[in-house]
Structure 1
Amino acid sequence: MRATDLSELAAFEAVARHRSFRKASEERGVTASAISHAVSNLETRVGIRLLNRTTRNVSATDAGAMLLAQLSPALRDIGSALDALNQFRETPFGKVRINAPNSIAPFVLGPVMGELIRDNPKLELEIVATDRLVDIVEDGFDAGIRLGESLREGMVAVKIRPRLRFAVVGSPAYFETKPIPRSPADLTAHVCIRNMYPSGAFYPWSFARDGEAIDVEPRGPLALHDHELMVEAALAGIGLAYIWEARAKPYVESGRLVECLQAWCPPEDWLYLYYPTRRHMSAGLRAVIDAMRV
């Protein structure tokens, strides 16, 4: 098999798996037109249409679906065989794509990126930070990071650092007109900056102490899904924000924000790096896990 044949097959597999030329091009690090050209060449060579294309959708034909079912495991085996060569290198080689929630990525990946690149100069890290719920298999990631929530079957989860906790903060100017809350029940008398998922759904502020758990539905005129914007809103005195303590820390230490309800904000569940069971763990991913695991 020629190298061009394998490249065309890999391009087709990426498009069929993602159902998108754009996503396939992003995964393979080439232009969408190059991916389209490779797939067209493959279809011309085999004499069969493998993909149905419209202006909005891409889907595999029956022949394409059959090829994809056999091709995906074969390409994984090839990738595993190539990655096995890492044992003959001093450091891991290749690309590792990681997805992480935007709100926690700086605290999880920030402390380890420099060390990973310095210690593994032939390693390429691609990190996509988004609070959108991502299917790491469909979107071509090697691994993802989430809080200790249930993961779908077929995933391996590795506990990683750090363990985060939420904090309730407000500006000194805000507390000039409002008393500092002493318990979650006091929040009913406060203006709160509501936390919103990218989908538009709201999530409660969760508290716990001495075995007692309380969820509060915050009330206020402003709803945000970005923690940086929540910090800015709290600094502006709009209301109280419920954000990661690590994000609030520099502002609390400088006196620009005041933290409250500390006794009611225990650490969250552990964070986990997860990856598909069936996917061979590359030397690069192993290096990432070793740098992050508890």
Structure 2
Amino acid sequence: MSAEHDRQQIEQANAGGRVPAVFVHGLWLLPSSWERWAAVFAEAGFAPVLPGWPDDPETVAEAKEHPEAFAGKTVGQVADHFAGLVGGLTRRPVVIGHSFGGLLAQILAGRGLSCATVAIDPAPFQGVLPLPISSLRAAAPVLTNPANYHRAVPLTFDQFRYSFANAVSEEEAKELYETFAVPAPGAPLFQAAVANFNPWSETKVDTEHPDRGPLLLISGEKDHTVPWALTNAAYKKQAHNPGVTEIVEMPGRGHALTIDSGWREVCDTALTFVRRFAGEL
């Protein structure tokens, strides 16, 4: 995703005077995975912004042709990239993120950059201690080879089926894989894996920032990649913040809950939460 494209979105959001809603994707997806959400939020009166990670290709087809574009991206680099984009907005935005995008959303909230935040099945930050077996298995395609730290790593269909699409039919899983799945940088998974042993980890979240604002964490009941234990641990770490902190579990849903056929229920849950505070924005 070009810097020019991101700049145009920021300018467009500023021109309308509406509260921006910034959507942050995670690993193995692109900004286009949020397009249906953006339409719903636009209809609700927000100004949607769908920025990419640095050097994101424009399309899934382009991403599959040039996987090297994803290599070497770290959590700190991407967090600073998004902080810079958000800093260009004239109003503090709502920030909504999924998976590693959910971690990035919490990092931005911890810097006081968002007015309300929704983190969906968020990757764990430093201090989140559970290590569920299913999470380790979901990360295995990357973590089993140390050389993947500097590479972009695609998922096979079977790996995608386990880590993303375990709660949908085989037919839908194949459709999601073809439509949305792209290679991803290995570095963030290595960073998350060793975060609790590295005092300088880039996966830190300032859970006590007084201007963090309201935060909702959403957990998919059947998520293999970020199961309830991880999301709930993140909730408990942040529940003492002066801002509103809530958690909800979506029954029967896996890690693909933002893109699969049940996406609208998750979208509406996020929208209902941020609208509660829209009068204060």
Larger radius of gyration: 1
Task: Say which structure is richer in strand.
Answer: 1
Q: Under a length normalisation based on structure 1, what TM-score does the superposition of the two structures give?
A: 0.31
TM-score normalised by length of structure 2:
0.32
